[in-house]
Structure formats: C-alpha cells, structure tokens
Amino acid sequence: MQKHPGEQAMKMLVTGAAGFVGSHLVDELLSRGATVVGTDNLLRGRMENLAGAGANDRFTFIEAELGDPDKIPDALLAIGPCDMVWHMAANSDIAAGARDDAIDFRDTFQTTRSALAICRATDARRLVFASTSAVYGENDEALAEDTGPLLPISNYGAMKLAAEAAISAAVETFLDTAFILRFPNVIGSRATHGVIYDFCQKLMADPSLLQVLGDGTQKKPYLYVAELVEAMLFIIDRIAGQPGRHLYNIGPRDEGVSVSEIAGAMVTHAGGTATIAYQDTDRGWVGDVPRFSYSTAKLDRLGWSPELTSRDAMLRAVAECAGEWGLT
C-alpha cells in the first residue's frame, strides 16, 4: 500500500504470514511503512521465512489456529482497529484435499470464516483474498473473471469458491471492500509446496533420479512471487477507494511452460546427471488441472502486467530454490 503524505501508517493483518506468499507480502508491506500483524499455525509456514520481518519493530507475530471460527484465539481478536486483512492462509496440498475433504473445509473455507470474524472484531472494512485459478475447473476456453459455470475439480478449488461466496456476502453486511484475487501458479524462494519444491525434495533424496508426477506435458502459467505481491498492491492502490467486490485474475500473458521444461531446468541446476522419469498420465494428481489458459485482460486494462514471462519466472525460481536447497 502506498503511504500518502500525512497519512498514518496502515495496520494490516496477514493470515498465512509464515507461508510462501504471506511472508513475501509481509516483507513488502513493512517496506512500504505499514504496521503488520502476521498470524499462522505453522503447519506449513516456517518462522525462518519471517526472519527479516521479525527484526522490524512494526511487525508482530501471533501463532494461531484459524480452522475453527468459534475458537479464534483472543490475542487475534484483540489486536485493535485494523485497516485491512490479507487472508493468505489455506491448505496448499491439493492432493491431500482429494483424499480427505475435511482438510480444505478446515484450512481453506473455515479459515476464511475466521478471517471474516476477525474483520468484524477489528473493524477492518477491507479484505484481500488469495483465490485461485482452480475455481475455474477444467475448461478449454480463455478463462476470464466472468467465465462460468464455475465447476472446480478439486476440494481445494471448491472451498476457495465457497470462500469467495462467503466474502461476497460479507460485503453486503460488514465489509466495505473485498479484493478477490485469483492467482496462477506462484513460484520463487521460500516455496513450501509446488512443482519446483517437489523436484528439490526429490533430488535431495536421490540425486540420480527425478521422478515427475504426470507425463510432463502439463502446461501452466507461472508468476514470480515478487511480481504477484506487486500486482496485488497495484490493484489495491488503484481501486482502494471504491467499495464493493473487485475480482481479478493475476498472471502472465503467456500460456505457460510445461512440467518437462521445469524438470530439465531443475536437473541442469543440480549438476545435469539425474535421469528424468515420467508417469503415463496427463496429470500429476487427482484434482490437478493439466492445462489452463488464463485471461489477464482485466488487469492489463487496469495498467499492470508482469515483466517476467512464465519461462523467465520459472528459470529464476529454479535457481533460487536450488540455491536454498543446496543443490547447485
């Protein structure tokens, strides 16, 4: 958020703050002068992601479970007036959610109800929600914000869609503004999951073999995490004064890169000796959408597009993650 002259620093709450996107968001909000309260149950998030933020006296961390809106810790409800809640907490293991639908109900939907309850308690009138391209399901057409019907093929996508609906309803009662931002695949340092994380983990366990989930033809758009954070802040700065529901796809303009290209780049970074093995299926797991094309025309019209293509973003993220894992 831009700080305008004479304006008091904004107070923000970030859920999922110790996770991949949340921790980068916290760093950027702090660098822009905000006071930030971060919360996470540390299920997937790591305190080391918040090492830089922790050294800033405008940052406070509250470890809290948000999976039950009737049991939100008092410490969170008592943080005092808050300008904006950024709801980033969710399940990020889509395959686990296919095996057990309680996971996305708790970590993706109920956490959203908790975020809304915190908005009420702290009088935060603006909520930013990390939604996903997964709400679109499997669809051959260019997917724009008004694409329908929305028929997700994962419990993760289903609970994100339900969460969008709950947020939309809250705009009719206690929220002034909801930013529902649908992300593509986001990549970069501090990853806690995803294809590059999976490859790093596998190459650490066995440097001679990279077993790919699926046949490698899956092709998706990828956005570098710093550009995602920049895009979110751009959207909010541009339309913050306008009440209502603001729905945006965020992503690159291209159609993406294939998993086999990512595997090749990963093996090159790890010394080039691993054999890459594929499975005989076009998708990595139940609920995986192997291809989608994603319209970012609405965001283009607002005036933002990323500098990095999916391929640039992928190469940068592979280098960063390989470095973090000590694979280079």
Q: Which residues bind ligand NAD (CB under 6 A)?
A: 16, 18-22, 40-45, 65-67, 88-90, 92, 106-107, 111, 130, 132, 183, 185-186, 192-194
Nearest residue to ligand NAD on Cβ basis? 19
Whether the CB-CB separation of 36 and 10 falls below 8 Å is answered with no
Q: Among candidates 30, 35, 17, 39, which has minimal Cα distance to 83?
A: 35
Q: Which helix (H) or strand (E) holds 26?
A: helix 20-31
Which one, 67 or 216, has the nearer CB to ligand NAD? 67
CB 129 to ligand NAD: min, Å: 8
CB 272 to ligand NAD: min, Å: 27
Which one, 132 or 296, has the nearer CB to ligand NAD? 132
Which one, 186 or 274, has the nearer CB to ligand NAD? 186
Whether the CB-CB separation of 192 and 23 falls below 8 Å is answered with no
CB 141 to ligand NAD: min, Å: 20
Structure tokens at 240: 């913050």
Which one, 194 or 256, has the nearer CB to ligand NAD? 194
CB 182 to ligand NAD: min, Å: 7
Angle subtended at Cα 292 by Cα 288 and Cα 295, rounded to the nearest 5 degrees: 140
CB 148 to ligand NAD: min, Å: 19
The residues with which 85 forms a beta bridge, in sequence order, are 13, 127
Which one, 207 or 255, has the nearer CB to ligand NAD? 255
Other residues' Cβ atoms within 10 Å of the Cβ of residue 80 = 10
Angle subtended at Cα 202 by Cα 199 and Cα 207, rounded to the nearest 5 degrees: 105
